A and B are shown apart, each in its own frame.
Chain A
């Protein structure tokens, strides 16, 4: 049993800095407002000093009162100044451990260590902050204890740092700055205007310029409008063009900047224990995902990048990135690179041998009719009330809707093989999903009234950490599919699912088949 430990002492400084950060705005507001007359500068300074002292004090007490214990079976954190809280997480339940270094802690060589158990989305336990070395040692320790708990209980006293470094595995995928730039070009974003809007609002709050004053803008527009009117139509067109180009340029630059901030130095490595992902320019994150926890894959793409053959790959698992998204393991890659990563995780991507099944043609027809009907209904009032000929617009849209649905059907397909299920949909940016048959949890055949009448169904497969659905599957096929999947699932109990993949990555998958007959004998 190890002793309760404290986080790095420098955390106190960071805590104090955080409270100063939040006090600065208040102090500025006091400084620029009319409160206190000429002495307001002193009031502002006093506020700042008080905030710093109080913040540092609170940070210190918090640091004193937070301890973590690395036990034999779990990791325990006790915290709280007045009300105490003790949380314990068993090693086997830890889905992944991630190290996150935001810019400021990075300067001090500190990281936040986050443990995820998959309960309710966000991280369940975070230690802020440990030194980078401590963080990595802790992660290695947790991983080893987790793998050991079932087999070897004794021998835990051996310090983990003495073990050979097993994290420097084979590099599966890395983003070079050059490719990152290409990636950034596809990440066109106008989010900067939202930020600007927010800033304007802020300026409005702390300055006397009322930006929501319509008259102000009208005056300004009128002045500018007169100037524009005098320069002639040619220059006006040029100006509009320049504005458009500027907009595109801003969007592209924003996209590139955001991509660089998020994915700078993106590296995915495969070690015997799992996958390790490092990324980030200012905020550096370092996540390790055990390979056997990967439940499924999602291969996505974008409308434009799809035309250039770029795709992204995410792992579906109980642990998730922020905003409840699956772990991105390759944000911008060629299909062969993705296939290599998928292979390392024990998945095989659909290939020429995959027997794809299309959605029912009746499903296609119904969707086309449904979408077209909406436009046709719109055309009726248009024909009656609108000027002559205008009703042709919704009618044209109806025709387009039919065409789009017929085209989209080509991309809506699903397949099943000995170990996996596949689904694919989307016609402008096709999205593929792959899941292991063995790691599914339930199968539902759902039918609306129309689907029942027309004899097709949606098959929902229960996937931990994600969803998996096949749409428009003909009913007999849906039933056959369910029978096949359930046979695989029922053969292996949940408790045996998470057994770590040993040397042969496909062992767990091939083990399912003999397990099936053994299970039959048992029952």
Chain B
């Protein structure tokens, strides 16, 4: 039962420094990077509008050259949209084994969490509109601990997320019976 999800993964082991004797991490669905990019773009839009409005107001005064406000904002936004999603995608990964799930995330602040299936209280599979468009889903494991009360793993392929949920559920049922 445990081998089922492993075969369904587009198993691309991370080749970088994350291989630390703890086993190799599995990358998330490539569409997750696209979804992150769209989200970053959406977040940048209000700032761009704000900069443009400011630009218009200041232009009437005629003190400074055109584009001196909106230009840099646009540049920063483009840089963020190009760089950050790719890096975040690269920093994330997970590792599913017989009785536990390991979730790794964070560019600057790394977090590396292991949740044993035996401690999972309930499991969510969520899809926002953006995630549905890209065919990905977020798998969330809830535990009874105060810290890490819920561990979310976004950016899984839709089917894979459901498959993982079934695997974890089957494990819980087997343990309980």
Residues on A with C-beta less than 8 A from B21 are 479
Contact B146 A462 (CB under 8 A): yes
One of A466, A490, A493 near B100 (C-beta < 8 A): A490
Tell me if A464 is interfacial: C-beta within 8 Å of chain B. yes
Interface membership of B109, Cβ < 8 A: yes
DSSP class of B's interface residues: helix, strand, loop or mixed?
A: mixed
Partner of A519, one of B99, B110, B149: B99
The 7 closest A-B pairs by CB, nearest first: A462-B145, A441-B145, A493-B175, A490-B116, A441-B143, A444-B113, A445-B112
Interface segment out of the listed B41-49, B51-59, B76-84, B117-125: B117-125
| Between-chain CB contacts (< 8 Å), 5 pairs | A441-B144, A442-B119, A452-B110, A462-B148, A469-B147
Residues of B within 8 A of A464 (CB): 144-146
Say which residue of B2, B116, B176 sits within 8 Å of A442 (CB atoms).
B116
- List 7 additional A-B contacts (Cβ < 8 Å) besides A444-B114, A490-B117, A493-B176: A442-B119, A446-B112, A449-B109, A462-B146, A468-B147, A492-B118, A522-B174
- Are the C-beta atoms of A463 and B147 separated by less than 8 Å? yes
Q: Determine the residue in chain A with the shortest Cβ distance to B117.
A: A490
Chain A positions 441-465 with a Cβ under 8 Å from a chain B Cβ:
441-449, 452, 460-465
B60 at the A/B interface (Cβ < 8 Å)? no
Contact A441 B99 (CB under 8 A): no
Is the C-beta of A467 less than 8 angstroms from some C-beta in chain B?
yes
* 0/1 string, A486-523, CB within 8 A of B gives 1: 10011111111000000000000000000000010011
For the complex formed, measure the closest distance between the CB of A517 and the CB atoms of chain B, giving whole angstroms.
13
Say whether A62 faces chain B, with CB atoms less than 8 Å apart.
no
Q: Closest CB-CB distance, B150 to chain A, in whole Å? A: 10
Instruction: Bin the interface of chain B by size.
Output: 20 to 34
- Chain A residues with CB under 8 Å of B151's CB are 442
Whether B109 contacts A448 by the Cβ 8 Å rule is yes
B residues with a Cβ closer than 8 A to A are: 2, 20-22, 98-100, 108-121, 143-149, 151, 172, 174-176
Q: Decide if A486 touches B108 in the complex (CB within 8 Å).
A: no
**B118, A448: Cβ atoms closer than 8 Å:** no
Listed residue (A447, A461, A494) with the most chain B CB atoms within 10 angstroms of its CB: A494
Asked whether any CB of chain B lies closer than 8 Å to the CB of A180, the reply is no
Contacts of A440 in B (CB 8 A): 119, 145
C-alpha gap A486/B149 in the complex (Å) = 16
Indicate if A482 sits at the interface (CB-CB under 8 A). Answer: yes
Instruction: Provide the residues of chain B in CB contact with A490, threshold 8 Å.
Output: 99-100, 116-118
Q: In the assembled complex, how far is the CB of residue B69 from the closest CB belonging to chain A, in whole angstroms?
A: 31
* B119 & A489 in contact (Cβ 8 Å cutoff): yes
Is the beta-carbon distance between B99 and A443 smaller than 8 angstroms? Answer: no
Across-interface contacts of A447 in B (CB, < 8 A): 109-112
- The 8 Å CB contact of A446, one of B100, B110, B146, is B110
Q: Which of A318, A446, A462, A468 contacts B143 (CB 8 A)?
A: A462
Contact B172 A442, beta carbon cutoff 8 Å? no
- The answer to whether A441 touches B148, judged by C-beta atoms less than 8 angstroms apart, is yes
Q: Is the CB of B98 within 8 A of A523?
A: yes
Residue of B nearest to A479 (CB): B22
Find B118's partner among A449, A479, A493 (CB 8 Å cutoff).
A493
Let me know if A494 and B119 touch, CB within 8 A: yes
Q: Is the CB of A442 within 8 A of B121?
A: no
Interfacial chain A residues near B98, Cβ < 8 Å: 523
Are the C-beta atoms of A495 and B109 separated by less than 8 Å?
no
Whole-angstrom distance between the Cβ of B123 and the nearest chain A Cβ:
13
**Looking across the interface, which residue of chain A has its beta carbon closest to that of B103?**
A444
Asked whether B111 lies within 8 Å of A445 as measured between CB atoms, the reply is yes
Digitize A418-451: 1 where CB-to-B-CB distance is under 8 Å, 0 elsewhere.
0000000000000000000000111111111100
Alpha-carbon gap, A464 to B115, bound state (A):
14
A490 to B100, CA, bound (A): 7
Given contacts A446-B109, A489-B119, A523-B98, contact A482 B114 (CB under 8 A): yes
Q: Is the CB of B2 within 8 A of A489?
A: no
The answer to whether B100 and A486 have CB atoms under 8 Å apart is yes
Q: Which chain B positions have C-beta within 8 A of A442?
A: 113-116, 119, 143, 145, 147-148, 151
In whole angstroms, how far apart are the Cα atoms of A443 and B113 in the complex? 6
Please tell me if the beta carbons of B147 and A444 are within 8 angstroms of each other in the complex: yes
Bound CA span A491–B100, Å: 11
Q: In the complex the two chains form, what is the Cα distance from A389 to B147 in whole Å?
A: 48
Q: Are A493 and B172 neighbours in the complex by a CB distance under 8 Å?
A: yes
Query: Which chain B positions have C-beta within 8 A of A523?
Result: 2, 98-99
Contact digits for A96-117, partner B, Cβ 8 Å, 1 yes 0 no: 0000000000000000000000
Closest to B149 in A: A462
